[in-house]
Structure 1
Amino acid sequence: MNQLTKHLSLFALCGLIGLSSYAQKEVPKGWHLLDAKDSGYYGISLEKAYEFVKAKKLKSNAVIVAVIDSGVDTLHEDLKPVLWKNPKEIPGNGIDDDKNGYVDDVYGWNFIGGRDGQNVEKDSYEAARVYHKYKAKFEGKDPSSFKGEEAKEYAMWAKAKGDVASNVEDPTMVMMIRRTVNEFKAADSIVRAELKKEEYTCKDLSTYTTTNKQAAAFRDRFVAICKANDTDEISNKMLLDELEGEVAKIDAADIAPKAFRNDIVKDNYNDFNDRFYGNNNVMVSNSAALHGTHVSGIIGAARGNGLGMDGVADNVRIMTVRAVPDGDEHDKDIALAIRYAVDNGAKVINMSFGKGFSPEKKWVDEAVQYAASKGVLLVHAAGNSAQNLDTSWNFPTPVFENGKRAANWITVGASAPFADIKDGGLTASFSNYGKNEVDVFAPGVKIYSTVPGGNTYQNLQGTSMASPVVAGLAAFILEYYPNLSAEQVKYVIEKSSTKPGQKAYDPGTHEEADFGTLSRSGGIINAYEAIKLASTLKGERPKTVTPKTTVKPKKKA
């Protein structure tokens, strides 16, 4: 999962075509919370929802929302009041007070950290990992000779091989990417020397002048990328990491990816019962925590305190579970992150990440079933590849290997502020979509929220931002109607969504389409309509049925 420019075309990164149209028209901070009829922006009508519960004199109940992500700034002014703190753990004593296997897990847990304090920030891509893992076994072999599990492995490997090969099939593009990286690195060294800063952002470049033509050209292209992302907080490190990630995809055709995770975490990855690894550092660094901090603020940044922005839900506790690097996450970490969140009381889990392959999908499926057995709702970002998920994959998914579907899962596409198709229409140009596989859309363009730095905020965009809008709404519903099941909350959110009944752009074909054909519900979430519908339902707690699992219980000391 690349965290910033992942929805921008690589051509745009290299400066060969125009950038995102969303940078051309301003929107107010917090537009995603507004009412479309009152403001003209297709927000979620949140204030009307709060007026509804206030009129009914309903009392809210605290809801724990787990954010499985890249990390969170636990010192941010707008997040400190809403962070979950493990009530059974004594901070900093080096003892596993609650005996859950994770020492000093005060704010949550970091599943991509080492016991020695090292942490995974950058990682490889799953396609490359799958391709090289099975290359010796399958290269040049007759696919008809494989049966059962081996046949499934071969099919996955063959697809991964195709993905890896696609990154080098255009020699001109490969040459352009390598040249761009080299040019950016050379220019970056000049800018760093002249600014006397090792890490700088577009904000620093706003007053930067130079007589060096190479540095000036780099500055202009860098500023254009920031403008397209509607933020001046992208750093040179983030940008170069993004481009070097593209180089890594090219290199993967011939070179096996470095074992970033295994070198640091040092668990036995193939043994799912070797699960008590990691550390309690849930932030790691500003760059690592950028994505997760932004997501957390969207869900539940303290409301009404006059600082920065307001989250969707007003009585949540954000549990931080770090499992997502800059690159593709690993299935084991995601499966254990889900289980950790469930075991520690989360009722909603936000998952703003995704990848094209899931070699250990069975572990994730079992974790999803475990969450369902405990009445926990999973909210997942649809992805930012402008693909139809009815015909492509973005893992994890609610569809199990046996073909059955999780009922406690919502897949979220990203919507845009404007109804007029001349302004881009209601679909974000980068958003994945699908009449069967995307459940609903939510605002995901130019979303203003918390970022690391203690008191810092900025706009980011992606389905990563749309998913926490839905997770926040789910938490809001459960605050006031705590007896509703995960399935009922899913029903409420989808059934009450606003159906614009107008044309939009199909992100994949770039042609006009009925907005209602791009998701299963055909709508954009509406908090006011959702809470009204929730008020009419009788809470039906699901029966607790623990599914079969390959996880063995922890032995008592």
Structure 2
Amino acid sequence: MNKVINRSLLFSLIAGLIFSSGFAQTSIKENAPKGWHLLNKQTSGYYGISLDKAYDFLKGKKSTPVIVAVIDSGVDTTHEDLKSILWHNPGEIPGNGIDDDKNGYVDDVYGWNFIGGRDGRNVKEDSYEAARVYHEYKGKFEDVTDPSTLSKEDKDKYEMWVKAKQQVVGEVDLSLLEKYKQIAKDMIVEDLIIQGDLKKKEYNCKDLNGYNPTAVAAQKIKQTMTYICGLNKNDDITNEQIIEDLQGEIRKMESAQKAPEDYRGEIVKDNYNDFSDRFYGNNDVMANTPFHGTHVSGIIAAARNNGVGIDGIADNVKIMMVRAVPDGDEHDKDIALAIRYAVDNGAKVINMSFGKGFSPQKDWVDDAVRYAQSKGVLLVHAAGNDAADIDTAWNFPTPVFKSDGKRASNWITVGASGDPKLGGLVAGFSNYGKKEVEVFAPGVKIYSTIPGGDTYGDAQGTSMASPVVAGVAALILEYYPSLTPEQVKFAIEKSALKPDMKVKNPGTDDDVDLNELSKTGGILNAYEAVKLASTLKGERKQENIKTKSTVKPTKRG
């Protein structure tokens, strides 16, 4: 799942709508230069990653192209700052309806969409994994009184079901459900008024500046949007994002009473429980939900020095989009196959800005992670946005293998940093973990590409911090291609800058050292990372990691 609005702040919005007649106006006081995350602390005063200094260090050195796979919601393939950096499958002839490279995926020009149907439809919204787990095993475990009598396999499932039940049923106040539904219904009606006035289907808080509606309903939604943008410190949040997230919370509440709809199954039509049935989906990587993936892709590799928009981090990267993340929780099978697709088609870095609290088919994902590890591919994962300690809370996928408890060596988990001028050096929403989070990277008010062809805006979350690390990892591999994923990971983590100050523990007012929130106790620094990488002797085996799948397509009528 990837969200633009922090869940705790969405609840603040809903509570305000239910229990008060309105909001106090909340302005965004903290301004930051666009691209602050790339700046040098010594020259700008912001805790950026010192990217220009890194490029100064690399000047005159040879760069080789690197493919970075982005497993996400989709990408705007028409964007002016992304068109030139999108991966094009060299073995595929676009639009001929033939699987030219015989990899099982027809016309996979920019990548693949694992949550699309062969009829051209695409999964937009989906249910939450906790609800899926709860209802799948409810009939089997609801009447269990003595779990010690269960087999080991069933005990594991039972423990997962109990936790899912607590989340689905125990944390939901059903007395508010009808009020939530009415709020969503009212917002949709009010939203139509503003759409008509502004002559725009989708608009953000910036668009509302100077807009003075006369209709009371339009005044109300303007006030609502201003409030939520202020709480999130992000005036690029749109009307559609707010309504979609509210509807998602309603779906989550409804799952306490009834099994969620099978959004994916109705469109994708694979045999979900058969992992060999893997050649499903379609080639529409843009689909209808590309905001998140477009923003992430721009952070990594938006065309540099082209005179438009923004500069991404890495200057010789091709972005491969693998669409597997809906508005809701992703499915383990899609993630496992997305990782394998990226590896088989030459990605050296995979960015994963998503996460969820349950992983019933974790073995499938673990096997894919092992496969990536065996092929020398680095995985970069967002820590999550619940202000939670993921040493004890679940945020899947994880680098710890279920079967033996061993840890993947090719994995970096990233928390979100900010700046004291932007509310704190550690983002208040970021997950953390002394054991499970390796490093922090900028993830507050990150300016990047958004859908629209020539549109840009802010977003924040560990979803934005992860591609900052992925971009630096790709930059290292451009100039030092003989390094292994483990060596790149070492360079990034060992060189992280350790600030000489206390930080706020997310979700609390406690002042702590940053090394209490992550393994390194540091913040990513591109200059220090490439400098350290330059001293390492490459250990990567010289092999072509682009391989063909050995699993034959499952025939389906």
TM-score normalised by the chain length of structure 1:
0.93
Equivalent pair of 2:304/2:312 in contact (CA under 8 Å) = yes
Cα shift at 1:241: 1.4
**Residue 410, structure 1, aligned to residue 412, structure 2:** yes
Distance change (3 Å), C-alpha of 1:162 and 1:542: farther
Q: Secondary structure at the match of 1:117?
A: coil
What does residue 29 of structure 1 align with? 34
**Residue 311, structure 1, aligned to residue 315, structure 2:** no
**Residue 484, structure 1, aligned to residue 483, structure 2:** yes
Bigger shift: residues 116-125 or 159-168? 159-168
Bigger shift: residues 238-247 or 20-29? 20-29
**Residue 53, structure 1, aligned to residue 52, structure 2:** no
Cα distance between partner residues in 1 of 2:200 and 2:63 = 47
Cα shift at 1:165: 1.5
What does residue 427 of structure 1 align with? 426
What does residue 460 of structure 1 align with? 459
Q: Which amino acid aligns with 1:165?
A: V
Cα distance between partner residues in 2 of 1:520 and 1:472 = 21
Cα shift at 1:169: 4.0
Q: Could you list the per-position Cα deviations for residues 140-184 of structure 1 after superposition, in whole angstroms to 9, with x for gaps in the alignment?
A: 21222212111101111110000001342474x556534532432
Aligned pairs (5 A) from 1:185-334:
185-192=188-195, 194-195=197-198, 198-285=201-288, 288-334=289-335
Distance change (3 Å), C-alpha of 1:159 and 1:502: same
Q: Secondary structure at the match of 2:322?
A: strand
Cα distance between partner residues in 2 of 1:232 and 1:515 = 29
- The number of residue pairs the alignment matches comes to 544
What does residue 41 of structure 1 align with? 46
Cα distance between partner residues in 2 of 1:294 and 1:22 = 24
Bigger shift: residues 315-324 or 12-21? 12-21
Equivalent pair of 2:104/2:553 in contact (CA under 8 Å) = no
Equivalent pair of 1:413/1:438 in contact (CA under 8 Å) = yes
Bigger shift: residues 145-154 or 85-94? 145-154
Q: Could you list the per-position Cα deviations for residues 88-118 of structure 1 after superposition, in whole angstroms to 9, with x for gaps in the alignment?
A: 0000000000000000000000000000000
Distance change (3 Å), C-alpha of 1:523 and 1:7: farther
Cα distance between partner residues in 2 of 1:95 and 1:407 = 37
Cα distance between partner residues in 2 of 1:215 and 1:440 = 43
Distance change (3 Å), C-alpha of 1:187 and 1:428: same
Cα distance between partner residues in 2 of 1:278 and 1:379 = 24
Cα distance between partner residues in 1 of 2:304 and 2:123 = 33
Q: Secondary structure at the match of 1:184?
A: helix
Q: Structure 2: state its 5+ residue gaps.
A: none
Q: Which amino acid aligns with 2:163?
A: K
Cα shift at 1:514: 1.0
Q: Secondary structure at the match of 2:67?
A: strand
Equivalent pair of 2:13/2:227 in contact (CA under 8 Å) = no
Equivalent pair of 2:6/2:429 in contact (CA under 8 Å) = no
Identity %: 63
Cα shift at 1:209: 3.0
What does residue 373 of structure 1 align with? 374
Cα distance between partner residues in 2 of 1:33 and 1:277 = 39
Cα distance between partner residues in 1 of 2:32 and 2:193 = 35
Distance change (3 Å), C-alpha of 1:543 and 1:77: closer
**Residue 86, structure 1, aligned to residue 89, structure 2:** yes
Q: Structure 1: state its 5+ residue gaps.
A: none
Q: Could you list the per-position Cα deviations for residues 431-456 of structure 1 after superposition, in whole angstroms to 9, with x for gaps in the alignment?
A: 00010000000000000000111111
Bigger shift: residues 503-512 or 406-415? 503-512
Q: Could you list the per-position Cα deviations for residues 16-37 of structure 1 after superposition, in whole angstroms to 9, with x for gaps in the alignment?
A: 3999999321100000001111
Equivalent pair of 2:27/2:226 in contact (CA under 8 Å) = no
Q: Which amino acid aligns with 1:101?
A: G
Aligned pairs (5 A) from 1:382-421:
382-401=383-402, 402-418=404-420
Cα shift at 1:502: 1.2
Cα distance between partner residues in 1 of 2:172 and 2:554 = 52
Cα distance between partner residues in 1 of 2:287 and 2:153 = 38
Equivalent pair of 2:70/2:352 in contact (CA under 8 Å) = yes
Distance change (3 Å), C-alpha of 1:269 and 1:225: same
Cα shift at 1:349: 0.1
Equivalent pair of 2:9/2:231 in contact (CA under 8 Å) = no
What does residue 135 of structure 2 align with? 132
What does residue 103 of structure 1 align with? 106
Q: Which amino acid aligns with 1:26?
A: N
Equivalent pair of 2:2/2:327 in contact (CA under 8 Å) = yes
Cα distance between partner residues in 2 of 1:470 and 1:350 = 9
Cα distance between partner residues in 2 of 1:384 and 1:245 = 16
Cα shift at 1:4: 1.6
Q: Which amino acid aligns with 1:489?
A: V
What does residue 164 of structure 1 align with? 168
What does residue 153 of structure 2 align with? 149
Cα shift at 1:196: 5.7
Cα shift at 1:194: 5.0
CA RMSD of aligned residues (A): 2.3
Cα distance between partner residues in 2 of 1:135 and 1:451 = 41
Equivalent pair of 1:7/1:430 in contact (CA under 8 Å) = no
Cα shift at 1:364: 0.1
Cα distance between partner residues in 2 of 1:345 and 1:239 = 37
Equivalent pair of 2:9/2:232 in contact (CA under 8 Å) = no
Q: Secondary structure at the match of 1:367?
A: helix
TM-score normalised by the chain length of structure 2:
0.93
Q: Which amino acid aligns with 1:147?
A: S
What does residue 79 of structure 2 align with? 76
Q: Secondary structure at the match of 2:426?
A: coil
Equivalent pair of 2:340/2:371 in contact (CA under 8 Å) = yes
What does residue 538 of structure 1 align with? 537
Distance change (3 Å), C-alpha of 1:300 and 1:12: same
Q: Secondary structure at the match of 1:426?
A: strand
**Residue 64, structure 1, aligned to residue 97, structure 2:** no
Cα distance between partner residues in 2 of 1:353 and 1:177 = 26
What does residue 440 of structure 1 align with? 439
